[in-house]
Amino acid sequence: MTRLKSVYGRLCGALQCAALAGALAVGVAPAPALAQGGDATVLDAREALRKKDRVRLAMARATAAAERHPLAMWVDYWELNNRLVDAQQDELNAFAARWSGTYVEDRLRNDWLLELGRRRDWANFAVEYPRFRMNDDRGSAATRCSSIISAARTCARRPWRLGWRSARPTMAAR
């Protein structure tokens, strides 16, 4: 078995050397794996999120937006999601307008709906829930549960239902 491994190792090494020699003969050198210039911003934002550093995260968000980095939407999501308990509906509306139709928009909407349910803000929940498209994770189950609670609370306030309840005993007496 050891002999087989050493033969295999030598064969793989020889093939790698042959591929490198062929690439050099053609004039094509393998490209070095370097990060793009703006990637430091995204990595810094991820680190700030891990440490829950709101100031650094806000700065990284502004930098990523100014650089028009392709991952700026995620930095924006991390920054707003990091302070979601303090966020207001207007901030979420602005985020949805910036990243309309993207996965990140709906990902934040799911998190926001969970927060609205936690706050028991059923009025904003009822406005946001129809816009929610994602139903692919366990957070979605909690969101659906909150939507049932919201619908039940709305239904209980409808005047026609109150009239139906008062008419029901007389119908039962017949």
pTM beyond 0.75: no
d(CA 97, CA 91): 10
pLDDT, tens digit, for every residue of 112-130? 999 999 999 999 999 998 8
Q: How many CA atoms does the CB half-sphere of 71 hold within 13 Å?
A: 15
Whether 41 has a pLDDT exceeding 80, the answer reads yes
d(CA 64, CA 58): 10
Confidence of residue 150 (pLDDT cuts 50, 70, 90): confident
Q: Tell me what the pLDDT averaged over the chain comes to.
A: 76
